Structure 1
Amino acid sequence: MKKNYTKIVLDLLMAITFVLLMNPRVLDGLPIHEIAGLVIGVAILVHIGLNYQWVINTTKKILDPILPKKTRFSFLLNILLLISMAAVIVTGILISRVVLPSLAIEGSHTIRELHGFFADVTLALVGLHVGVHWQWIMSICKKAFKSKEGKLRKGVLASVILSLAILAGGIQWFASTATPSNGEFMPKQMQQSEQATNNGNTTNQGNTTTTNTNQAPPNGDFREGKFHGKEGHGGSSNPFLVVLNYFAIWAAIIIPTYYIEKRILRKKRESKLRPQTS
């Protein structure tokens, strides 16, 4: 049971970290974005390790027709999720500017597009993953917060609330004190444009002539450092708004997935109870 609690806490922390990573300008900007991206990669390996036994047993039985369809679907979903997350990490390394700049590829606009695409795919797959396992998650949470007698465990509830309050306070403090590293996001074209603007402001004796050579980035976005939207996924760089935004997106995926699965299971039970006519 403690292992299940560990998995849920780890998954929750991974979920919060992942949605914050969807906007590179959250918190301290690109440095934290890249470092947290590598950390979440390690967390994924830990997650797989905690589910190692299930992975091995399911892999051995994947071709067995007796294996439940839900288990087979969950296994396929996990494989796709692992591939998409690996693609996010690999493409992130190939466009790194802070942590691993030596591995970055010059003129990596296409890789940036792939990085954003796989991040979106991963976001959707995580929602499906949680939706499929929602009943299990609720079962573990009920056991965590309620005793065998059905009484609410106030100590556990208080510790969870305190932990969330500390986490929220830490995020708010960091967001309010850290200086966003906007320079990391400014592409060379814009930097050169600003320099040209300064050099283009000329003043003649008795006649002032101002030449503004500042050019807007192509298509209104960063060509060399393009991220979704003006400030990355979600628009706002406020960490709380980013978390609420993406958790709402997940809810839009989890709720229908849960009820579709529930409907399928109900139909299966009804078909088994229905008397067979010869």
Structure 2
Amino acid sequence: MKKNYTKIVLDLLMAITFVLLMNPRVLDGLPFHEIAGLIIGVAILVHIGLNYRWVVNTTKKILDPKLPKKTRFSYLLNILLLIAMAAVIITGILISKVVFPSFAIQGGHALRELHGLSADATLAFVGLHVGVHWQWILTICKKAFKSKEGKLRKGVIASFVLSLAILAGGIQWYSSTATFSMGEFKQEQSGQTVNNGSNGNTSETRQGPPNGDFRGEKFHGKEGHGGKSNPFLVVLNYFAIWAAIIIPTYYIEKRILRKKLKSRQMEPKLS
């Protein structure tokens, strides 16, 4: 059971981090965007590791006709989600201006477009993934917050609220105090002195970021969806988008299960 709680907490932190990454203007701009992107890549590997047995067992049975359709759909959805996330991370590295500037491809407009499309696809796949597993999530949360007698576990609720408060406070602190030294990276230099060799002449060349400033509201690049850069508004915005995907998915699955149950109940009467 503790493993399931770990999954829920990890997935929640991944969800919050991912939606913050959907807008590269939040929390000091590209430095946070690229570093957090790598961290979420590691978190995905941890997530896969926590579900290692399910992945192995389902892979072995994927061609078995007896395998439930929901399990097969979930497996294929996870494959698509993994491909989309891999595309986001790889294209992110190839257009990096902060963490991996040496890997950056000049004029990689197509890569930036692919990066954005992959992020959108990931957003949709995550919504479907959560919608398919929503009943399991509700069951785990009920067990976490309620005792066997049906009473609320005040200690668990207090810990959960405190964790959210610390996370919110950390985000607010970072957004208000974090600073980034533009001179640490060549790609972010607003000016550079170039020596012309034996002439001894120097000229100052402006080399600002091709897509605008890397920090906060000044970032005017094509990456991301724009909009407000307030981290709390960004989280609310994309969680609302997820809700628009999760709710219909959950009720469609529920309706399908009801039809299956009715058909099973009708089979003895027909026979």
Q: TM bucket by the smaller chain?
A: 0.7 to 0.9
Asked whether the equivalents of residues 28 and 178 of structure 1 are also in contact (C-alpha less than 8 Å), the reply is yes
1:131 aligned residue:
131
- Give the Cα separation in 1 of the matches to 2:164 and 2:181: 27
- How far the C-alpha of 1:28 sits from its partner, in A, is 1.3
Q: Distance in 2 between matches of 1:98 and 1:271?
A: 58
Contact between 2:25 and 2:226, CA under 8 Å: does it hold in 1?
no
Residues 169-184 of structure 1 mapped to structure 2, 5 A cutoff:
169-179=169-179
**How far did 1:163 drift?**
0.8
Higher CA-based Rg: 1
Name stretches of at least 5 consecutive residues in structure 2 with no aligned partner.
Answer: 192-209, 212-219
- CA 1:111 to 1:181, structure 2 compared with 1: closer, same or farther past 3 Å? farther
Which residue in 1 is equivalent to 2:78? 78
Q: How big is each residue's C-alpha offset from its partner over 1:111-161, in whole Å with a ceiling of 9 and x where there is no partner?
A: 000000000000000000000000000000000001111111000000100
Q: Look up the SS of the partner of 2:173 in the other structure.
A: helix
Map 1:212-223 → 2, pairs under 5 A = none
**1:146 lines up with 2:146 in the alignment:** yes
Counting only pairs closer than 5 Å after superposition, residues 15-164 of structure 1 correspond to structure 2 as 15-164=15-164
Quick check: 1:227 aligned with 2:219? no
Do structure 1's residue 274 and structure 2's residue 248 form an aligned pair?
no
Partners of 1:251 and 1:80 lie apart in 2 by 20
Q: CA deviation at 1:277?
A: 2.9
- Are residues 1:248 and 2:243 paired? no
Whole-Å separation in 2 of the counterparts to 1:277 and 1:151: 45
1:74-124 CA distance string (max 9 Å, x none)? 000000000000000000000001101111111101100000000000000
TM, length-normalised to structure 1: 0.82
Secondary structure of the residue that 1:274 maps to in structure 2? helix
RMSD of the alignment, in Å? 2.3
Q: Secondary structure at the match of 2:235?
A: helix
Amino acid paired to 1:277 = L
What is the rounded CA distance, in whole Å, between the counterparts of 2:131 and 2:7 in structure 1?
Answer: 16
| Alpha-carbon distance, 1:182 to partner | 9.1
Letter in structure 1 aligned against 2:153: R
- Rate the CA distance shift 1:140–1:111 in 2: closer, same or farther, 3 A: same
Structure 1 residue ranges (4+ consecutive) displaced by more than 6 angstroms after TM superposition: 180-184
In the superposition, the TM-score normalised over structure 2's length comes to 0.84
